[in-house]
Structure 1
Amino acid sequence: MGKSRRVVITGMGVVTALGDTLDRFWSSLCAGQSGVGPLSLFDTSEFKVHFGGQVPDWDPVARFGVKEARHLDRFAQFAMAASMSAVEDSGIDFERYPSHTCGVIIGSGIGGLTEFETQHSIMREKGPSRISPFTIPKLMVNAASGQVSIRWGLCGPNTAIATACASAANAIGDAFKLIQAGLADVMITGGSEAAITHMGLGGFASMRALSTRNEDPTRASRPFDRDRDGFVLSEGAGIMLLECEEVARARGARIYAEVLGYGMSADGSHITAPDEQGRGAARAMNLCLNDARVSPDGVDYINAHGTSTGLGDLAETRAMKSVFGSHVDRLQISSTKSELGHLLGASGGVELIASALAIHTDVLPPTINLDNPGEGCDLDYIPNVAREVKVERVMSNSFGFGGHNASLLIGRYRPSDA
């Protein structure tokens, strides 16, 4: 087998509660601003939770026109917008490359929940004959990856990943492996989610998974804090363009970072609760390090999964201690969900973009609302204030319902011939 190819990040795009441009997103994140607030997508008065990380001022018609917007569920709209931003950011011209060498993998934990609810209501009120013919193509989880490939005529590998909150990380990891193995040269990848709906909000609230801090929503997401009481439901997308190093350098692309390793595992223990000792999470991190051929002391910063749940934050902390041993006290860690809330299947994409920007700008975003660390949560979580510090390698963790665990490692790019 030939030598594995190097894979680099050349373009990134976001749609989040903190903005839909990289500059606005990153400056707000590093300033410790919260994108969480009261929801206005529908009347939440009868719900236990009235707030979330809603994308502000979203106007799909202004972005795509009436016809295209009508054919895309909200989650696919986010994916398309973030993909367009990532492609523009990369400067790539797909017409210069064979279409079969360029592909798409976009993850989503739930897919077109908005369309499902809308058409179900129509069926109940007007009968099955009034269901839209666009229902299935809009709500299917692979709608985002399919529509993105159609926009640019990309005929290479095209799949969709649905592993709950690990979806985007798994998508990026799979795209990385395809390029590394020579099965693609360029991949658009990441995740998208739009689960702030009646069923989404009500379902997670019924599980008691969400924070109920209705009186103070900006302080509701508080990973690793003693007073955390659940995660904050958010929406959006995080999409990046991955390329093999040779293609990227040949066209003079700006390179944000290099993808070094990918690990995934399953807890195999419970459909929603994590393994209390974080054994599955630790396995994913170890596999990621082994894949990258990097020792634990070679990692400088971790963008943690850090959802602000009692069990999850403690399990992840235990996992990091298990993997990094004595080096764990020198690790810098933060959870950007403290500002963004939890984007579910999109979270891994947005958080790897934040990780790449941390390398690119030499700034580590903080964990806001961390006032009193919870019992057992005794690591350096970069509380409340960003740090200006140069880091070489960054790990991003994503763990999802179903016991899915995924870890990605990226590093500062240095050319082989430098």
Structure 2
Amino acid sequence: MTGGGRPDRERVVVTGVGVKSPAGTTVKESLAALLAAESAATTIPELTRAGAVVDFGCTVPEFGRESYLTPKEMRQIDRLNALAIAAAMDAVADSGPHWPASPGRSGVFVGTGIGGLGTMELAAMTHQHRPHRIPAFTVLRVMNSSPAARISARLGVSGLTLTFSTACASGATAIGEAVRRIRSGELTTVLAGGVDAPLTPLVVSAFAAMRALSTRMDVPHEACRPFDDDRDGFVMAEGAAFVVLERLDHAMERGARVYGEVAGYGVNTDTGDLVSPSADGGVAAEVIAMALADAALSPGDIGHVSAHGTSTVLNDRSEARALELIFGEACPPVTAPKGVVGHMIGAAGAFEAAMALLLAREGLVPPVANFRAGRDADRIDLVSGAPRRIPVKPALSTSFGFGGQNTCLVVVPAP
């Protein structure tokens, strides 16, 4: 590994990655879209017809559900579970033919911020006047633990199956907690990541009522603009992202390809406000410092930062100040994937950490989509216009959720 790694504990590596994102249904497509800074935001006819307050978002392109699901599952499974299963199966396939080698020592950790709320909305709207017609499998759709349970059943995993709901940090939390379980020796391998499918009229309108969403309905592809002075909110998105994590020696024994290591994990809570981060960036800086300490790295070891960068005024400002507190005038290049893919809520942190690792391996930092100029960006080294070539070094990925849920991951690329 290039930097990172502590001799006093088990090292946890990434051997498989699977995504179903608005930027693409494969890892290769998603990376290409990030590097091209091509926004996936578009008008969604279903939202328009339903009279949603905001009628655009970032959707996952057609991904061939029939190749992942049985005919029975096709009838029973909702969008949330279909995205989760597809991305999870891609990650497992990418990790090689011998995972999980020991089902009882393996786990499935899934993060979701919205869970089955969209499916509950649909059931309520469709059957509010005829509750006796609600399908029998509705409960299995709406429970937040459904994706983890279905994935575990598919893989025959008999170890831990856990669901994490820490708002927009859920996917990153699932990865970080999986790392802890592997380090402790409790598990050998974990499939970890996040999923959400929140593009329904009531869910989108509820976020719009908070004034969290951009309202640029005439130019949706220009709506999400992290750290830009003209930002007015984030763009809601759906998606799923998973990684296969395992103990380094286990990966080497089975001859797995290693993308890199999850070397650092930090988590804390900003108790100042349920929806607004601390203005001085202090709490966010603390969680970054925790992840760096966990990885036994210094700020100067970081090659680039994948920022949470929601395109909301308060979040971006707080995050820029946090990075300034950590790095000072020596801030590494900073990118913000949500300018391309929108905010995938529970999947965001998992997707961004996985992409940060893969981009660090290539020594590339994507430009931030739709960025023109921003005073908050003056505090950091924001990449814009074109991808930037950098040395192959560790990367840092931040996730900050409603409720003050903060998570930071440090990933180290393999040589």
Matched, 1:348 2:349: yes
Distance 1:370 1:42 in 2: 27
* Residue 136 of structure 1, aligned match among 134, 139, 146: 139
Matched, 1:270 2:273: yes
Distance 2:189 2:43 in 1: 39
Matched, 1:81 2:86: yes
Q: Equivalent residue for 1:391?
A: 392
Change (3 A) 1:83 1:294: same
What do the CA deviations read for 1:39-75 (whole angstroms, capped 9, x no partner)?
1344356233221101123553454133112332211
* Residue 151 of structure 2, aligned match among 148, 152, 158: 148
Give the drift of 1:253. 1.1
Give the drift of 1:378. 3.2
Give the drift of 1:326. 3.7
Give the drift of 1:118. 2.1
Larger deviation, residues 32-41 vs 165-174: 32-41
Matched, 1:211 2:214: yes
Q: Equivalent residue for 2:4?
A: none
Q: Equivalent residue for 2:121?
A: 117
- Matched position secondary structure for 2:129: helix
Distance 2:119 2:180 in 1: 33
Q: Which amino acid aligns with 1:99?
A: P
Q: Which amino acid aligns with 1:334?
A: T
Q: Equivalent residue for 2:106?
A: 102
Q: Equivalent residue for 2:312?
A: 309
Distance 1:353 1:376 in 2: 24
Q: Which amino acid aligns with 1:159?
A: L
Q: Which amino acid aligns with 2:288?
A: M
Q: Equivalent residue for 1:247?
A: 250
- Matched position secondary structure for 1:237: strand
What do the CA deviations read for 1:241-271 (whole angstroms, capped 9, x no partner)?
0111011111111111111110001011111
* Residue 202 of structure 1, aligned match among 192, 195, 205: 205
Q: Which amino acid aligns with 2:167?
A: A
Q: Equivalent residue for 2:410?
A: 409
Give the drift of 1:202. 0.7
* Residue 23 of structure 1, aligned match among 20, 28, 31: 28
- 1:113–1:197 contact (8 Å) kept in structure 2: no
* Residue 163 of structure 1, aligned match among 158, 161, 166: 166
Matched, 1:54 2:59: yes
Give the drift of 1:182. 1.0
- 1:227–1:374 contact (8 Å) kept in structure 2: no
Distance 1:51 1:23 in 2: 25
- Matched position secondary structure for 2:128: helix
- Matched position secondary structure for 2:48: coil
Structure 1 runs (4+) deviating above 6 angstroms are none
Gaps of 5+ in 1: none
Change (3 A) 1:158 1:374: same
Larger deviation, residues 114-123 vs 195-204: 114-123
Give the drift of 1:89. 0.8
Distance 2:196 2:46 in 1: 15
Size of the aligned set, in residue pairs, is 409
**Equivalent residue runs for 1:280-291 within 5 Å:** 280-291=283-294
What do the CA deviations read for 1:81-104 (whole angstroms, capped 9, x no partner)?
000110111114236x22111111
- 1:267–1:279 contact (8 Å) kept in structure 2: no
Query: Percent identity between the aligned chains?
Result: 36
* Residue 193 of structure 2, aligned match among 185, 190, 201: 190
Give the drift of 1:17. 1.0
Change (3 A) 1:384 1:274: same
Q: Equivalent residue for 2:261?
A: 258
Distance 1:80 1:218 in 2: 28
Distance 2:147 2:182 in 1: 20
TM-score for the superposition, normalised by structure 2: 0.95
